[in-house]
Amino acid sequence: MYYIQSITKQEDVWQKSESYVKNISALANFEQLSFNSPITFFVGENGSGKSTLLEAIAVKYGFNPEGGSKNYSFATKDTHSPLSQMLDLAKTPKRAKDGFFLRAESFYNTASYMEEIDHDGLSASYLESYFDGKSLHEQSHGESFLSIIENRFWGNGIYILDEPEAALSPSRQLTLMSHIARLIKQNSQFIIATHSPILLAFPGAIIYSFDNKTITPISYKETEHYQITHNFLNHPERMLDILLN
């Protein structure tokens, strides 16, 4: 199931803009992206524009730029790019019943806001047992991150995640994958920016690379993430020898 079908850059609005986003070559050169899979990944070098595009899609869809559900409205900084205003977003006729935008960068603020008051129409007693009775801030970064996915992602939803692996051990990344699989079975769609060679292996995923001055689909084993990790783990001594000597 998917809800966001495609995005198209509005070339006329783009041309008139003077924003820094015009200097990001992957964003300058793509015209349209389709999301014909319940799970899509954005990969690419640091600074290639993944978070900028992910945030623009999230904002265009109606999420708070720093994270949360559609009911969240907090801002600790006002730095989101104007890219969302330059995108057209095509949705499928099915309406998502849930949604969440979660970014590693501003996770702390999202978690704080989440605990302040109830933003999603839940009763106080439910909220108390929400995260196994433990405040998100009494849990480690990875524990609280997974806790939100386990307890607050309800299915039939659109979930936009920026580097969800940042907080997670390899074993918990596998746990995350099983949650993603469960939520996809419950009619959900994921769009995820990642550097994780583990997450990228998710079966049936579309992988968009931001590395070749535009945005192009590639296969798992074509990603640098797979190739470098694979070569390194097969021959750590050889690679370190080249690197360090």
Ligand X SMILES: Nc1ncnc2c1ncn2[C@@H]1O[C@H](COP(=O)(O)OP(=O)(O)OP(=O)(O)O)[C@@H](O)[C@H]1O
Beta bridge partners of 195: none
User: Please, what is the minimum distance in Å from the beta carbon of residue 46 to ligand X?
Assistant: 3
If one asks whether residue 129 binds ligand X (CB under 6 A), the answer comes out as no
Token pair of 33, please? 């992206």
Count of chain residues binding Mg ion (CB under 5 A)? 1
- The two beta strands, 189-193 and 157-162, are parallel
Beta bridge partners of 161: 102, 192
Count of chain residues binding ligand X (CB under 6 A)? 11
Sheet of 98-103: strand order equals 98-103, 157-162, 189-193, 39-43, 206-209, 216-218
If one asks whether residue 195 binds Mg ion (CB under 5 A), the answer comes out as no
If one asks whether residue 157 binds ligand X (CB under 6 A), the answer comes out as no
Token pair of 160, please? 């936009």
Contact partner at residue 24 from ligand X, Mg ion, none, CB < 5 to 8 Å by partner kind: ligand X
Contact partner at residue 48 from Mg ion, ligand X, none, CB < 5 to 8 Å by partner kind: ligand X
33-72 residues near Mg ion, rule: CB under 5 A:
51
Distance CA 42, CA 164 (A): 12
If one asks whether residue 196 binds ligand X (CB under 6 A), the answer comes out as no
Selected range binding ligand X among 7-15, 44-52, 89-97, 128-136, rule: CB under 6 A: 44-52
Q: In degrees rounded to 5, what are phi and psi of residue 222? A: -80, -15
Closer residue to ligand X in complex, CB, 82/155: 82
The residue with tokens 């998502």 is 96
Distance CA 235, CA 220 (A): 20
If one asks whether residue 229 binds Mg ion (CB under 5 A), the answer comes out as no
If one asks whether residue 8 binds Mg ion (CB under 5 A), the answer comes out as no
52-81 residues near ligand X, rule: CB under 6 A:
52, 79
Number of residues that this document lists for the chain = 245
User: Please, what is the minimum distance in Å from the beta carbon of residue 127 to Mg ion?
Assistant: 31
Residues engaged in binding ligand X (CB under 6 A): 20, 24, 44, 46-52, 79
